[in-house]
């Protein structure tokens, strides 16, 4: 396995340190001018994310967990995501780059002091501190903003500032994998009541009946997606929901975000470089409407969220839901492309060591996968520790994404983790795979 230290406080310290190294790697090589600039109205200036990370840490670790007065409570209103939408954040009285770095570092010093002082044993009654939950929550919060900052890097114009080695080529058997795998029907346990740092929307564990279905072995590739484009998929209303069709017309969609036509083929802008669209990589930067339309064109559909989780966690041999497709051990580089070790998804068919019992690959890592499902609470949901993490987003306007992408930290990515966004959003690192019902008798 790849499991880190067993002691919750040591694990929390390591997770917070890893998050901070990544935050600095995303902001240190950027000029002050570019940190302050807004690269897209969909995103905050990077310097806002940086100080927001510090402010949330002050709020939860220094003030809530530590019971201390805090460093700059006067900044709360500047860094409250709910008070100012992203588009308007450049107008806020934000800390400058140097001040933001110093603030985040000062908060970190005090939160580490709190961590050293509090009891984080798993059996203490306060759920915020038991198993160092709130520290794990803040490590996940920082890593989620790091992923958002990575999306800002992808949106920004100008020469590349980030670099990483390419993932290894696909294994020899990638070309001969079956197109789809069968996930057997029956009940499975969805969600968790035991994963120590699972967030409120992943809880509680509950039984869901999922009939047998077929699922794509790997995510839909750029090559497959180009067939949809070439077949006139963006011009044929038959494949789109009414809202999706309206959006295609209004937004003038004709290919994934960042793609440009180049003769008969396509190029894309990828972290400051222009490259031919790589045929064998999972498609990236498509919205839910595009994923849904592709699936209908292919005679298929998106998997529901329950189907996705069953494929990723259910072990037919034991009847148990596991933490990951391959078992309970934390992800390593063999299992999944996570943690921004690479700046792109691995080719379809990669990571046989991370396969699910059905044979499905790359459920974890590479690209977020759109599901058919709205973001709804599980039966028995309770908001914890604040309504603004999940509860205020429940409802039909958000669609669920699963599995994490190459820029998602392993501390965030579990078989139970739920992400969500508007069905029009494309700047996130999202792709998809498709599914279909099994025929009666198949996989019963």
Q: How far is the CB of 371 from ligand AVJ (least distance, A)?
A: 14
> Using the rule CB under 6 A, which residue among 10, 84, 113, 144 binds ligand AVJ?
144
Distance CA(37)–CA(426), nearest Å, equals 21
Cβ proximity to ligand AVJ, 271 vs 393, nearer residue: 393
Is 417 one of the binding residues for ligand AVJ (CB under 6 A)?
A: no
3-state secondary structure of 169: coil
> Using the rule CB under 6 A, which residue among 48, 378, 381, 420 binds ligand AVJ?
420
> Using the rule CB under 6 A, which residue among 27, 148, 340, 358 binds ligand AVJ?
148
Q: Which one of 107-115, 142-150, 227-235, 236-244 is the stretch in contact with ligand AVJ (CB under 6 A)? A: 142-150
From the list 74, 47, 70, the residue with the least C-alpha distance to 59 is 70
> Using the rule CB under 6 A, which residue among 409, 419, 427, 434 binds ligand AVJ?
419
Cβ proximity to ligand AVJ, 167 vs 407, nearer residue: 407
Distance CA(177)–CA(351), nearest Å, equals 13
Burial 304-324 (b: 16+ CB within 10 A, else e): bbbbbbbbbbbeeeeeebbbb
Cβ proximity to ligand AVJ, 152 vs 419, nearer residue: 419
Q: Which one of 127-135, 140-148, 316-324, 354-362 is the stretch in contact with ligand AVJ (CB under 6 A)? A: 140-148
Q: Are 254 and 389 a contacting pair, CB within 8 Å?
A: no
439: Cβ contacts below 8 Å, ≥ 6 apart: none
Beta strands in 223-359 (DSSP E): 259-262, 265-270, 273-276, 314-315, 320-321
> Using the rule CB under 6 A, which residue among 101, 141, 203, 322 binds ligand AVJ?
141
Cβ proximity to ligand AVJ, 389 vs 394, nearer residue: 389
Q: Of all helices (H) and strands (E), which one includes residue 423?
A: none
Q: Are 143 and 21 a contacting pair, CB within 8 Å?
A: no
Residue 74: alpha-carbon gap to chain centroid:
31
Q: Which one of 143-151, 158-166, 174-182, 212-220 is the stretch in contact with ligand AVJ (CB under 6 A)? A: 143-151
Q: Which one of 14-22, 139-147, 227-235, 368-376 is the stretch in contact with ligand AVJ (CB under 6 A)? A: 139-147
Q: According to CB under 6 A, which residues from 368 to 397 bind ligand AVJ?
A: 389
Q: CA 248 → CA 47, 179, 233, 297, 382, distances in Å?
A: 33, 29, 11, 15, 37
Number of residues that bind ligand AVJ (CB under 6 A): 7
Binding site for ligand AVJ (CB under 6 A): 141, 144-145, 148, 389, 419-420
């Amino acid at each position: 396995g790849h499991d880190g230290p067993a002691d919750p406080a040591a694990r929390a310290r390591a997770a917070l340190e890893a998050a901070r190294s990544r935050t600095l790697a995303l902001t240190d090589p950027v000029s002050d001018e570019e940190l302050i600039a807004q690269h897209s109205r969909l995103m905050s200036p990077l310097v806002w994310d940086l100080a927001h990370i510090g402010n949330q840490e002050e709020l939860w670790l220094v003030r809530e967990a530590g019971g201390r007065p805090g460093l700059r409570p006067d900044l709360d209103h500047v860094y409250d995501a709910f008070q100012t939408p992203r588009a308007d954040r450049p107008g806020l009285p934000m800390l400058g780059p140097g001040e933001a770095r110093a603030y985040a570092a000062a908060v970190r010093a005090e939160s580490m002091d709190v961590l050293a002082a509090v009891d984080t044993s798993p059996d203490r009654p306060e759920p915020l501190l038991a198993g160092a939950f709130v520290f794990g929550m803040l490590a996940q919060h920082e890593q989620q903003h790091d992923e958002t900052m990575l999306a800002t890097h992808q949106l920004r114009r100008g020469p590349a500032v980030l670099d990483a080695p390419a993932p290894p080529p696909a294994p020899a058997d990638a070309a001969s994998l079956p197109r789809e795998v069968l996930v057997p029907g029956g009940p499975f346990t969805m969600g968790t009541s035991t994963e120590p740092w699972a967030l409120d929307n992943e809880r509680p564990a509950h039984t869901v009946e999922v009939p047998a279905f077929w699922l794509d072995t790997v995510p839909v590739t750029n090559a497959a997606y180009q067939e949809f484009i070439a077949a006139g998929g963006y011009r044929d209303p038959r494949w789109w929901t009414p809202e999706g069709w309206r959006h295609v017309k209004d937004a003038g969609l004709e290919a994934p975000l960042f793609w440009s036509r180049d003769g008969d083929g396509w190029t894309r802008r990828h972290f400051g470089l222009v490259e031919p669209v790589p045929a064998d990589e999972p498609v990236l930067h498509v919205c839910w409407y595009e994923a849904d339309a592709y699936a209908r064109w292919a005679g298929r559909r998106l998997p529901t969220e329950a189907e996705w989780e069953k494929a990723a966690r259910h072990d037919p041999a034991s009847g148990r839901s596991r933490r990951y497709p391959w078992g309970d051990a934390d992800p390593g580089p063999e299992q999944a492309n996570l943690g921004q070790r690479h700046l792109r998804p691995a080719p379809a068919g990669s990571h046989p060591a991370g396969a699910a019992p059905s044979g499905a690959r790359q459920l974890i890592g590479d690209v977020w996968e759109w599901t058919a499902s709205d973001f709804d609470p599980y039966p028995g949901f309770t908001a914890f520790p604040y309504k603004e993490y999940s509860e205020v987003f429940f409802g039909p306007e958000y669609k669920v994404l699963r599995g994490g992408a190459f820029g998602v930290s392993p501390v965030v990515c579990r078989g139970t983790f739920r992400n969500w966004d508007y069905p029009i959003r494309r700047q996130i690192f999202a792709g998809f795979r498709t599914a279909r019902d099994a025929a009666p008798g198949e996989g019963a």
